[in-house]
Structure 1
Amino acid sequence: MTIPVDKLSQPAVRSLVAAINAGDREAFIAALTPDATMSDDGSDRDLADWIDREVFSSRGHMDVQTEKAGGLALVANFRNDAWGEMRTAWRFTVEGGKISRFDTGQA
């Protein structure tokens, strides 16, 4: 069962997922702190390069299946034109209402 984006508990995470699903890069960046970092499958990545490649140029989309830790940990079916669909885990660190770090990888 998919959790509707507007029902996600954590406002910053809700904004980020909504931005991904809308293909809205500006809204995605607005949900992050200026110095935000991320990792994919345990390796730190260049954030701008990763989001352009994995999300925006490849039409990424998240269908959230579960949330834990007050909405800071998600399991979602993520799909894009490059990789198809995969079950992914996401963990978020939020500071001052914005995401300062996220870690994602296959679940």
Structure 2
Amino acid sequence: MSVIPEDPAVAAFVSAVNGGNRDAFYSVLTPDATMSDDGSERDLAVWVDREIFSAGGRMDIETASDEGRSLTAAFTNTTYGTMRTRWAFTVTGGRVSRFETGQA
């Protein structure tokens, strides 16, 4: 069973990813949200489309810490299969303003 992150914005992010709900995903982000993957800055819209929504991305949360803003998850998509990943979120005003991900 997947852990549910304590932070409501992060929980909504995970729910949107797992539900394949692009509108819900973008509604939980600040308009100027940024992200990085394995330490490299990425274009958020391009990365999200390629890694999540066009590839059936799904997060199965294994652990949550830092009040639900740091996660370890099995991330699965049709491009790479399943891999163990880490996620760190910055939440500003109840919305995700930045997330960093990479292999754990």
- Taking structure 2 as the reference length, the TM-score comes to 0.98
1:42 to 39, 44, 48: 39
Structure 2 residue runs without a partner (length 5+): none
Cross-structure match for 1:11? 8
Report the CA distance between 1:102 and its aligned residue: 0.2
Conserved? CA contact 2:57–2:76, under 8 Å? yes
Cross-structure match for 2:25? 28
Deviation beyond 6 Å, 4+ runs, structure 1: none
| Percent of aligned pairs sharing the same letter | 57
Cross-structure match for 1:65? 62
The C-alpha deviation readout for 1:38-65, integer Å capped at 9, x for no partner, is 0000000000000000000000000000
Report the CA distance between 1:93 and its aligned residue: 0.2
DSSP 3-state at the match of 2:11? helix
Report the CA distance between 1:2 and its aligned residue: 2.7
Question: CA-atom RMSD, angstroms?
Answer: 0.8
Structure 1 residue runs without a partner (length 5+): none
- Taking structure 1 as the reference length, the TM-score comes to 0.95
Report the CA distance between 1:32 and its aligned residue: 0.3
DSSP 3-state at the match of 2:52? helix
DSSP 3-state at the match of 1:82? coil
**Amino acid across the alignment from 1:27:** A
Counterparts of 1:39 and 1:8, CA distance in 2: 20
